[in-house]
Amino acid sequence: MPEDFDALRQELLSCRDCQARFGFEPHPVVRGRADAKIMQISQAPSGRVHETRLPFDDASGKKLKGEWYRVSDEVFYDEANFYLTSCGHCYPGKAPGGGDRLPPAACAKKWLRREAEAVNCRLYICIGSRAAGFFFPGEDFSGLVFGENTINGKPALVLPHPSPLNIKWFQDHPRFLAERVGEVGALVRRTLGLE
């Protein structure tokens, strides 16, 4: 029997396991309901999201929502539409030399399977290689992006991260922006009942 969603969410939002590791108070960022149509899993919140507590409230989110999914902020942040979570639920801080630190693997191990079982979605979306690797360990990332995947017997999309830092992957895989992103957007909108 699935875990009680409200209890799980409260436990997750109260988690401060990584405070000593990060050197600042972590703020778990998760949004959505147990009956959200889509469960989206990414790597970790950005510094901006750490401040606003709104997932994908940054340049990557603008591209993801507006260009790839072609949905409004109102649709994206409607908790009946998307359950938004990540492998690392908190912003992990800056890495020496630039970029953000990788989220602790212990976070995904503690929470993600429990969330995936507690949320009764119709579609999973894994954004980036870290989220894909959690659900599809050892599988080729690009193969997953262009393939047909399932999680818990339901369709699962795997997407590259929409970050501008990911430009090489897009250059190496032009088919994604030319073809696949249109298919992704159509499936997202159909799942939400918008098409």
Nearest residue to 86 (alpha-carbon basis) of 40, 151, 152: 40
pLDDT bucket at 2, cuts 50 / 70 / 90: low
Q: What is the pLDDT of residue 174?
A: 96
Residues 52-100 have pLDDT tens digits of: 889 999 889 999 999 999 999 999 999 999 999 999 999 999 988 878 8
Phi-psi bin for 121: left (phi > 0), alpha (psi -120 to 50), beta?
beta
Tell whether pTM > 0.85. Answer: yes
Structure tokens at 35: 């009956």
Tokens of 43: 């790597």
Could you say which DSSP state residue 102 is in? P
Closest CA to 166 of 137, 142, 143: 142
pLDDT in tens, 12-50: 999 999 999 999 999 999 999 999 999 999 999 988 888
Structural domains present in the chain = 5-191 (3.40.470.10)
Residue 1 has pLDDT above 50, yes or no: no
Tens digits of residue pLDDT in 94-119: 988 878 899 999 999 999 999 999 99
Closest by CA position to 92, among listed 130, 127, 126 = 130
